[in-house]
Amino acid sequence: MNVLNVSNPLYIFVSLAVLLGVLAIIISIHEASHAWAANKLGDPTAKYQGRITLNPIAHIDLIGTILIPLVLIIISLQTGRLFLFGWAKPTPFNPWNLKHPRRDSALISFAGPASNFIVSAILGLIFRISNVELILPILGLNLILGIFNLIPVPPLDGFKVVGGILPKELAYQWLQLERAGPILLLFLLFFILPAIQGPITSILKLLTLIFAGV
């Protein structure tokens, strides 16, 4: 997705503020969806911690919501290509409060990425009606976060979704990988994602076509 590459300091400042603000809202929707799903499935832990809210302050992680996105935005403004992702504080839930712990844990994990795709569908509909170009980068950012979080690498949502789908014996072995989460995530970010950038871009273009018709 193209972004303007200009040297105007005011433009850069406004772009940083707007993109960080949009990312904070998107991440808040994502995390609030986890909390809402957990509460609906019987675990009020996140609710009691005030996480069923769209207020970004309740979800912000200094590194994942501010520092990493800020660096990526600066790189995007220099290259003219928008690539942005981030994360928030993990939404807590107690699986022992759930009626079906493995299945419901997977549903809670899936609720976050699902919210990204639902918002993308709404934005796509608004774009089809209004043809406002500003909507497309926001739609694309939702898609990026939805796809990224579905990658089955700990601590991403896709990891626990797979853990809830696998047979019980395999799921136990699979979930042991969670202890290596930070190393696996760094390997994903620095080695795997750059190598599969082409297919990811193709998927994003296809989903943008489906949602927005462009």
Residue 31 is among the residues annotated as catalytic for this protein: yes
Distance, CA of 77 to CA of 82 (rounded, Å): 7
CB 212 within 8 A of CB 124: yes
Beta partners for residue 81, in sequence order? 2
Collapsed DSSP state (helix, strand, coil) of residue 95: helix
- Report angle CA 126, 129, 130 to the nearest 5 degrees: 80
3 φ/ψ angles, rounded to the nearest 5 degrees = -130, 155
Q: Of the residues 31, 133, 169, 178, which is catalytic?
A: 31
Distances (CA, A) of 90 to 40, 72, 75, 83, 114: 18, 21, 26, 22, 16
Distances (CA, A) of 40 to 45, 46, 51, 98: 11, 11, 13, 10
Active site residues: 31
